Structure 1
Amino acid sequence: MQNASLRCEREALERKLRKVQEQVDCTSSTVLFLSKQVKEKEGKVKEAAFSVDNMKGSNKWLRFYTGFDSDAKFEAFLHFVTQDPDLCSGRIRGNIARGRLDAGPHSTLSHADQLLLVMCRLRLGLLLQDLAYRFRISETTVSRVWLNWTEVIQARLMQVSTLQGSPTV
């Protein structure tokens, strides 16, 4: 009688196990399907995002938004501004080599994109809200980037020597 009871219990447990395995199979296929959809959407978002990478090769748009005639000039200015790690470490928090602003766990802007944000505001007078929308970040992050980078740019440009008086011919 005990053996019969144990067999019935085993059969019931095997049925439950099969149901759970079916649910796991169904769930894993759903997760796989959804992850594929997310990857497709991320690719489309990156293509539509406002960034330096999406402006590469389009000197017309780079000139419109930043005033720089070419990618090379923009990159040279970026290098000039960020080449002093002592100056940048206190204001542009994070590792320059990593190219990311350490402004929190969700920061996604590279140094090039941060400089693009600042140059767009300087050249076109775009509002913080507009920049937040274009770069898909919060207004607080835009404000932080703006304040940090304007301080760094000012400090770097103050280091450039200027000629006093009139130049001799």
Structure 2
Amino acid sequence: MREYEQELPISDTENTMDCSSTTSLTMVSNKTDFAVQKLHKQKKHIGLDLEVRIENSVLKNQNALLQSEIELLQCTLKEQEGCAKTSENETVVKYINMYLDVNAVKDDITKLKFYTGLTVPKFMCLWGYLGPSVNKLVYWNKDCGVPDRSHKKRPGPKQKMTPMNELFMTLIRIRQGLLLEDLSYRFGVSKTTVSRVVLTWIQFLYIRLSAFRTKMFPDRSKIRKHLPKSFKKYKNIRCIIDCTEVFVQQPRNLVNKETAIRPIKDIQLTID
């Protein structure tokens, strides 16, 4: 009995130790499971963060590529616009070089002086003096000798000849005496247009410049007073224009032909 009684406490102690060990193992197991779950969560979070970083990197690379493509397309577009403008300018230059145009010579002193006898400042002064009336000209009908009033707006070749170009052509006609057909080739318009434009501008210039006639010629009394002896018998003389033969084209209208020119030595000359 004593031996039994002595052994009993030992058995209780062992049971107590077994329970403590089981509890400790359970706690360790729980901690281990928690640690494993936490590790899995961390791995999962790290994985998601890594995926997000990789996706952001891919998006940045794609954005950079798209930006490069946009810049390339913009450069290509600018080059194409530049080529289009160059082509348009070349077309304009070719047109100006093909036909005579005041814009091609108004800044060239030599050419403008050759064609019109006027310097650039004098030509622009004349143009400024003529004023806005140049846009309201009523063009003459050469067949019936009266102005053509069938047009409410400015008649004539609007697209090909500006008023300044028409003045330029008229001055060339006066200065160089070029034929109507020649001028039609030079300015790229019909012969009829050249005739109507020149006739209209001659009349217009006569009206606008009439105010200078009193300044161009002195009074008849002063002219008679200072006439040379060889001209004293010519009482009605006003001026002498170099006494040079001026060749002109014969008008088709017989009335105009009779009043404008006289045959002298079988040559058609103008009579002042």
Give TM-score, length-normalised by structure 2.
Answer: 0.39
Contact (CA 8 Å) 2:137, 2:154: kept in 1 or not?
no
Contact (CA 8 Å) 2:117, 2:175: kept in 1 or not?
yes
Quote the Cα distance in structure 2 between the aligned partners of 1:62 and 1:143.
22
Instruction: Select the residue among 64, 83, 104 that pairs with 1:54.
Output: 104
Quote the Cα distance in structure 2 between the aligned partners of 1:49 and 1:90.
24
Quote the Cα distance in structure 1 between the aligned partners of 2:162 and 2:137.
17
Q: After TM superposition, which residue ranges in structure 1, 4 or more long, deviate above 2 angstroms?
A: 38-43, 46-49, 87-93
Deviation at 1:161, TM superposition (A): 4.6
Q: Secondary structure at the match of 1:91?
A: coil
Contact (CA 8 Å) 1:92, 1:148: kept in 2 or not?
yes
Q: Which has the larger radius of gyration?
A: 2
Instruction: Report what 2:129 is aligned to.
Output: 80
Deviation at 1:101, TM superposition (A): 5.3
Contact (CA 8 Å) 1:65, 1:124: kept in 2 or not?
yes
Deviation at 1:120, TM superposition (A): 0.6
The aligned amino acid for 2:110 is K
Deviation at 1:84, TM superposition (A): 6.5
Deviation at 1:88, TM superposition (A): 6.8
Contact (CA 8 Å) 1:66, 1:123: kept in 2 or not?
yes
Q: Secondary structure at the match of 1:68?
A: coil
Instruction: Report what 2:138 is aligned to.
Output: 91
Quote the Cα distance in structure 1 between the aligned partners of 2:166 and 2:196.
10
Deviation at 1:90, TM superposition (A): 4.5
Instruction: Report what 1:66 is aligned to.
Output: 116
Deviation at 1:123, TM superposition (A): 0.7
State the Cα RMSD in Å.
Answer: 3.0
Contact (CA 8 Å) 1:91, 1:151: kept in 2 or not?
no
Q: Taking CA–CA contacts closer than 8 Å with sequence separation of 6 or more, which of the two structures ends up with the larger relative contact order?
A: 1
Instruction: Report what 1:115 is aligned to.
Output: 167
Unaligned runs of 5+ in 1: 1-35, 94-99
Deviations 1:50-85 (A, max 9, x none): 11110033211111110102x22101112223x263
Deviation at 1:118, TM superposition (A): 0.5
The aligned amino acid for 1:129 is E
Contact (CA 8 Å) 1:103, 1:141: kept in 2 or not?
yes
Deviation at 1:42, TM superposition (A): 4.4
Give TM-score, length-normalised by structure 1.
Answer: 0.60
Contact (CA 8 Å) 1:62, 1:68: kept in 2 or not?
yes
The sequence identity of aligned pairs, in percent, is 29
Instruction: Provide the aligned length of Structure 1 versus Structure 2.
Output: 122
